Amino acid sequence: MQNWGQVLAKSVLLDRIGEDTPDCTESSLKTHVSNLRGKLREATGRDCIEAVWGIGFRLNSGS
C-alpha cells in the first residue's frame, strides 16, 4: 500500500462509501472500522488502524 501513515478524513470515507451506500452514517462507519480493526488484529497481532481524533483514521504498518 502506498498510503501507509496518511490520515483519511471521516468525511472522505463517508463520501466514497456513500456512492454505493447512500444511507451510511458516521456511526455505521465507526462500527465498520471497529470490525475491520478486530479482523486485522486477529490476522496480524497488531493494531493497524489508528483513530486520529477529530479527523479520521490512519492505517499503520505496525512496525
Which pLDDT belongs to residue 63?
Answer: 56
Instruction: Report residue 56's pLDDT band, with 50, 70 and 90 as the boundaries.
Output: very high
Beta-carbon contacts of 56 under 8 Å, excluding residues fewer than 6 positions away, are: 7, 8, 9, 10, 11, 12, 13
Which pLDDT belongs to residue 2?
Answer: 65
Which pLDDT belongs to residue 5?
Answer: 83
52: amino acid identity, one letter: V
HSE at residue 50, side-chain half, CA atoms within 13 A, is: 11
pLDDT tens profile 41-55 = 999 899 999 999 999
Per domain, the residue ranges of the chain are: 7-59
pLDDT tens profile 8-34 = 999 998 888 877 777 888 888 899 899
What three-state secondary structure class fits 60? coil
